[in-house]
Amino acid sequence: MSGGQALRLSRLVRAAAAVIGSRYLRPGQLQLHRRLALLAGGGLAATLAFPSVLAASKPDWMAEPISGYEGVKGDDIKARMEAMIMQVQADFCRALEQEEADGSVGSAPVKFKVDRWIRKEGGGGITCVMQEGEVFEKAGVNISVVHGHLPPAAVAQMRARGKQMGEGVLPFTALGISSVIHPRNPMIPTIHFNYRYFEVQEPNGECQWWFGGGTDLTPYYLDENDVRHFHGTLKKACDKHNAKLYPKFKAWCDDYFNVTHRGERRGVGGIFFDDFDEPNQEKAFEFVTSCANSVVPSYVPLVKKHKKDGYGYAERQWQLLRRGRYVEFNLIYDRGTKFGLYTPGARYESILMSLPLTARWEYMHAPEPGSKEAKLTEILKNPKDWI
């Protein structure tokens, strides 16, 4: 197949996706896209040092994947996962940029700053951050693709979690996407999501793998319709695969995002899971892809709905205080942040991208009984079912 043919084929795939009307490729589409790209690129890579004829067929991602465009074309699960999170990053970033542009009264709406970084111990990442926008005060969407060797302490911790692991220093790969969005308007909730794949090579040649992730919402003011829309979208994504998943992962989410010392949840939850490997790798990947593709439809309508809402000084102060508690959760309890910061050579700027631009702590702050702030607090202390 010539470069021209490859280009036409690839355009065909993109056109087909456009006809289906979704900016988010479904697993099947992604696979087709990858296979075509593989067919197209396979013969060329050997002959062209700079395969410029392929440029037009490259997906419209935020940057070149850490494994390179060639590296994400294989049928290997790592390549497919990397291609999937690249697409989710691009879709989510572009959707937020669109909201920023729509709301902008300035001449040049804020866009994501794209940082592609390489980790000297192996792998790297693509960190996209938007700061001081009119709609988004701080928005971060980070991909990381990390190869290395698990230190014995990490292996011991995984064994304690029930993983059967061999002795010694084990080669691993971790790749995932993680994002936290802090809007400016207190009527728009904060969203967090994270989808990841983890693989460890055992001394006996076996490979241990699992997926983890989740999406959760942290409102400053409670709009029950928002929460039902959000949970409903996640439930639909889960139900496509197995009706048992949503209730299980909803409860897991409420349990995980607990600011223990305050006896309150970080927000109104969503879904959370780890060590997920059922019923097989293909199906597990499809499930995670469904969840990741549900981020935009679960959240962007809430941004649209509330970005022009009025608010005053009191609502802004409440938002800042709640953000303080978000910081408490992330720095004291969050496993991902801890794992990240304690890893040698950690890119702390990408890990701490989750922190808000501004936050506030007042001694003994308590909302007025009967107020909207008290109503939110009540829900955070007693999580409920939304569907």
User: What's at 105, amino acid-wise?
Assistant: V
| CB closer to a copy of itself, 25 vs 355 | 355
| CB closer to a copy of itself, 95 vs 139 | 139
In the complex, least distance from residue 258 CB atom to a copy of itself, rounded to whole angstroms? 13
| CB closer to a copy of itself, 168 vs 348 | 348
Q: Are 77 and 281 in contact (CB under 8 A)?
A: yes
Which one-letter DSSP state was computed for residue 382?
S
In the complex, least distance from residue 135 CB atom to a copy of itself, rounded to whole angstroms? 17
Residues that bind a copy of itself (CB under 8 A): 113, 115, 127, 129, 131, 138, 140, 260-262, 320, 324, 327-328, 331-332, 341, 346, 348-349, 351-353, 355-364
In the complex, least distance from residue 363 CB atom to a copy of itself, rounded to whole angstroms? 4
In the complex, least distance from residue 182 CB atom to a copy of itself, rounded to whole angstroms? 10
Encode burial over 287-313: b for 16+ CB neighbours within 10 A, e otherwise. bbbbbbbbbbbbbbebbeebbeeebee
Encode burial over 232-258: b for 16+ CB neighbours within 10 A, e otherwise. ebbbebbeebeeebbeebbebbbebbb
| CA 33/CA 13 separation, integer angstroms | 6
In the complex, least distance from residue 340 CB atom to a copy of itself, rounded to whole angstroms? 9
| CB closer to a copy of itself, 42 vs 348 | 348
Q: Tell me the catalytic residues.
A: 192
CA 303: distance to chain centroid? 17
Element (H, E) at 295: helix 295-306
| CB closer to a copy of itself, 262 vs 283 | 262
Residue 311 φ/ψ, nearest 5 degrees: -155, 160
| CA 227/CA 361 separation, integer angstroms | 26
